[in-house]
Amino acid sequence: MAGIYIHIPFCKQACYYCDFHFSTNLSLKAELIQAISTELEYQKVYLRGEAIETIYFGGGTPSLLTKQELDWIFNSVYKNYSVISQPEITLEANPDDLNQEKIKILREAGINRISLGIQSFDDKVLKFLNRAHNRQDAITCVNQLRESGIENISIDLIHSIPGQNDHLLSLNLGEVIALAPQHISVYSLTIEEKTVFGKWASRGKVKVVDETHSATQFEQVMDTLTDCGYQHYEISNYCLPGFSSKHNSSYWQQKPYLGVGPSAHSFDGETRQYNVNNNHRYLMSLNKGSIPYEKEILTKENKINEYIFTSLRTNRGCDLSYLIRTHDYDLMSINTTYIQSLLDHGFVTLSENVLSLTRRGKLMADKIASDLFATME
């Protein structure tokens, strides 16, 4: 089984924290979506005929797609790939783009899961982030999605936003819980150099939330959502039972996927491909009949370290037997002293040869993973 990721590189306006690939110039949108449909055709052998069980529209802002643009993409997917009978098809959406008519178009196209970029329910914070919607848009949107029969809704929130103190975060969590989505993703704000926030931070115009406070907010999120019945199945992701994201879980389980569109990545088990992150160059290349990408052949070390990093972040944990079986790599015997100290200090548990992070360990997930990384000559 495999997945397809489709990157829609357009946004109505730029959020001040965002460093994803997108353009606010929509004049090339239709042409570029046709090029993505062509790329899907060119790449039809990439997944070696594996059945497609998940399709994910990410961005950028896929909720800007028109009915016709969705049709171009789906026609190409169904013509060139073998899709299982009930695939998970997710579309990332911004609340200001959706209304009943648009939701109907999405449903009729086959979208059965919506990931809503709400980020905060506080209007002042939303303005500070330069989001295009307000709190009421977000609430109305969730209600309309539900009335229209979308039964799998995910909401994205951000913690560690400058100015969003613990009390405001608690109000936000209360709002999201009241809406009872099936899935919630909560990310810590990271300030990237090339963003507006990055520039403000370098001039001291915005005060970055420090690591200790960020860890406190992470714990606040974790405790509140798990107390309300959400399963914490990945460091940044929570779901009601049975509603984990199949698409994202497949990344964390090293399943193959094809990514199409500017800046999209693909993975076939042995290599990673990275499409050019420039709309114009992507279009020029597709118009000449070739896909503009760079390819990286994964070493044994890359594969082991990707597995350690992603598996430790999930509630499935890092399966030490899998590493021996698949990569002939005995993580335990190479790191006996370190792992024993993690066990002694309550950062990890070891059960049936699976290493899992405890609540304390989750606060240091990246550090523990990188300490365990393999280094090979």
Query: Which residues make up the interface to ligand SF4 (CB under 6 A)?
Result: 11, 14-15, 18, 20, 22, 59-61, 94, 117
Nearest residue to the partner ligand SF4, using Cβ: 18
The DSSP letter of residue 62 is G
Residue 60 or 181: the one with the smaller Cβ distance to ligand SF4 is 60
The residue (of 20 and 42) whose beta carbon lies closer to ligand SF4 is: 20
Sheet with 265-267, strands from edge to edge, namely 231-234, 237-239, 183-188, 153-159, 113-119, 83-93, 52-59, 2-8, 257-260, 265-267, 271-275, 293-297
Residue 366 tokens, joined? 């990246």
- Three-state SS string across 108-169, please? HHCCCEEEEEEECCCHHHHHHHCCCCCHHHHHHHHHHHHHCCCCCEEEEEEECCCCCCHHHH
18 vs 201, beta carbon nearer ligand SF4: 18
d(CA 163, CA 186): 17
- Considering the complex, what minimum distance in angstroms separates the CB of residue 94 from ligand SF4? 6
- Which single residue is written with the structure tokens 């919506």? 114
Both structure tokens of 25? 């110039």
How many other C-beta atoms can be found within 10 angstroms of the C-beta atom of residue 346? 11
Shortest distance, position 241 Cβ to ligand SF4, whole Å = 29
Nearer to ligand SF4, 22 or 81 (CB): 22
- In angstroms, give the least distance from the CB of 120 to ligand SF4: 12
Q: How far is the CB of 249 from ligand SF4 (least distance, A)?
A: 22
Residue with smaller CB distance to ligand SF4, 117 or 317: 117
Report the nearest approach of ligand SF4 to the CB of residue 255 (Å). Answer: 25
